[in-house]
Amino acid sequence: MGPPRRPLAWTVAVALLCVVLLFPLYWMFVTAVLPTSQVLSREPTLLPALSDISFRAFASAFARKPLATWLTNSLLVTVGATALSLVIAALAGYSLSRFRTRAQELTGLTLLLTKMLPGSLIVIPFFIMATTFHLIDSLWALMLANAAVGVPFATWLLKGFFDGIPRDLEHAAMIDGCGHMTAFLYIIIPLARPGIAACAIYLAILSWSEFVFAKTLINDQARWTITTGMVSFIGEHGIDWSALMAAGIISMVPMIVLFLLLEPFLVSGMTAGSQR
Amino acid sequence: MASRSAVPSPGRGSLARRERIFAYALLAPAVAAVFALIAYPMYLIFSMSFREGKSLNFLALHTRPFGLGNYEAVLTDSATWHSVWVSFAYTFGTILPAFLLGLGTAVVLNRSFPLRRWLRSLVLLPWAVPGVMVSIVFLWLFDASFGVTNYFLRSLGLISTDISWYTNESTALIAVIVPTLWKGYPFFTLTLLAAMQSIPGNLYEAAEVDGASAWQRFTNITWPGIRGQATLALVLNGLWVFREFDIIYAATGGGPSKTTETLGIRAYNEAFGYFYMGRAAVIGVLMLAIALVAVLLARKQLRKEFF
């Protein structure tokens, strides 16, 4: 649809809508930067004075909890799982895009099945498998679990991107004496870079947010991820809301930055299936 | 497929075979991942659902007596059917308002105006917030004494005493629905906006010339154009909410008095709270059965998208 009659007024209206929709995030920030006396108030100030703002809660969040350790663990798991499922999905997505095999007919069904399987259910067999292989409390187990969950959707997404690249390109290279794998690595992969980037960011957001596997497969506090760590704040007597919100902001910033980069791909590229 | 014949080669037959081997070799790691993720876990869940009794040693489960005891115990337990009801109330209570919010935001964003790309990102932002963080933020917003929600309601004169949203049995379900709705609406915005953008613009121009009102344009052009995608999005988002675990678990763990204990939470508590792995597996089978019914009901839309 084209522009509305008064485009600027439309912008203002949508901006106001965003203010309402994103109020929870705004309130998180306000809570993190205000002193406790104002946070624990029956009459909270919706627009705090600039002079009241302090970033002490961020420092105290790091001092009170091993946030740095949890963030590092989350980073390791996220990078490992994303890289692993991306490689697996790129190979499979290419195969499904270029060759008609039995597996091609099963991909839709597989994707649909993963959308029906609850995380709190598959964690039971994952827990049993991790116990069998002595992988409880190992970040490797978490990495593998997250990678496995990411593969079906990433494959489906990348297949779509490969479908958009003309076959003639690798055929030309193969006529020139290139092997099929070489053609794939040096011609197709560089062309699919935007799709691969979008897919990587999507996978990273999923791994970073993952909670049920991290909670069940890891007991050792030194190996917790940021999500398990954040939840451990809740049970405490007299929650320090400023520190909790500050920790929450720190844990979310990487994903929000990634999301703002990914968003154009989301709208242009995919319609169904973007929700795990 | 034409791809093979396009490469000229004297040994056609052997090339075709090499290509097929290549195709399957590329697929092999993904097949292994899917086997580890779906096939083997599903097999374990089904086989566990027939192993009776509780066990602290998960590896010894296969030595437990075999029978239908778990199915009998779970399906005759009124708490199970309570959880079914909670799951449905939670799912529909979330996706219906989330759909309306997503539809509204999609309609608003389906115009071209300055800063559109950034405002669209902001509208979709809650999708990227981890479930447990959503839960934590809303625990604070809904805090009984210092939460801003009660402050607003007090200021508007709607309540005289504070509501303890998460510990009150009649409000706990609402207090977990609201954060789920907040995290879930961007999916509707995203899919409905994509569907709206595939509607040809000249339809709207023609309607404008004919003097159609905004509402008429919506009911006669936009809605028929997105109906299929809307059904699909409702089913997929419904499946997501039905499986949702993080938000409820972090906020209430299923309480107070099981008022927010969905099937997913119940399965987890049976397994890792009481060590009744078999019963947890039966609840899982029940969840899969319900999801399967939803998928079968929507099979026409799903077939278009997935097959």
pLDDT digits (tens, 9 = 90+) for A191-232: 888 888 888 988 999 999 999 999 999 999 899 999 999 998
Taking contacts as CB-CB distances below 8 angstroms, the residues of chain A near B196 are 1
pLDDT digits (tens, 9 = 90+) for B102-153: 999 999 999 888 998 899 999 999 998 999 999 999 999 999 888 899 999 9
B212 Rama sector, left if φ>0, alpha if ψ -120 to 50, beta otherwise: beta
For the residues A48-52, what does the mean pLDDT come to? 80
How many residues in total does chain B contain? 307
Separation between Cα atoms, residue A266 and residue A243, nearest integer Å: 33
**Measuring CA to CA, which residue among A151, A224, A253 is closest to residue B133?**
A253
**Measuring CA to CA, which residue among B194, B181, B178, B182 is closest to residue B230?**
B194
3 state SS of A91: helix
Residue A100 C-alpha, separation from nearest chain B C-alpha, in angstroms = 7
List the single residue in A21, A241, A256 with the smallest CB-CB distance to B140. A241
Q: Give me the residue spans of the domains in chain B.
A: 70-306
Q: Does A30 touch chain B (CB under 8 A)?
A: no
Q: Does B289 touch chain A (CB under 8 A)?
A: no
Predicted-complex ipTM score: 0.89
For the cut 70, the answer to whether the pLDDT of residue B8 exceeds it is no
| Count of other CB atoms within 10 angstroms of residue B56 | 7
Q: Which residues 144-163 of A are in CB contact (within 8 Å) with B?
A: 144, 147-149, 151-152, 155
**CATH class of segment(s) A67-269:** mainly alpha
Reduced 3-state DSSP string for A94-159: HHHHHCCCHHHHHHHHHHHHHHHCCHHHHHHHHHHHHHHCCCCCCHHHHHHHHHHHHHHHHHHHHH
CA end-to-end span of chain B? 18
Q: Give me the residue spans of the domains in chain A.
A: 1-35+49-54, 67-269
Note the CATH number of domain B70-306: 1.10.3720.10
Report the predicted TM-score, pTM, of the whole model to 2 decimal places.
0.89
Contact between chains at B271 and A124 (C-beta distance less than 8 A): yes
Does the CA dihedral A189-A190-A195-A200 come out positive or negative?
Answer: positive
Q: Is-contact B282 B74, C-beta < 8 A? A: yes
pLDDT digits (tens, 9 = 90+) for B42-69: 888 888 888 877 666 666 666 677 778 8
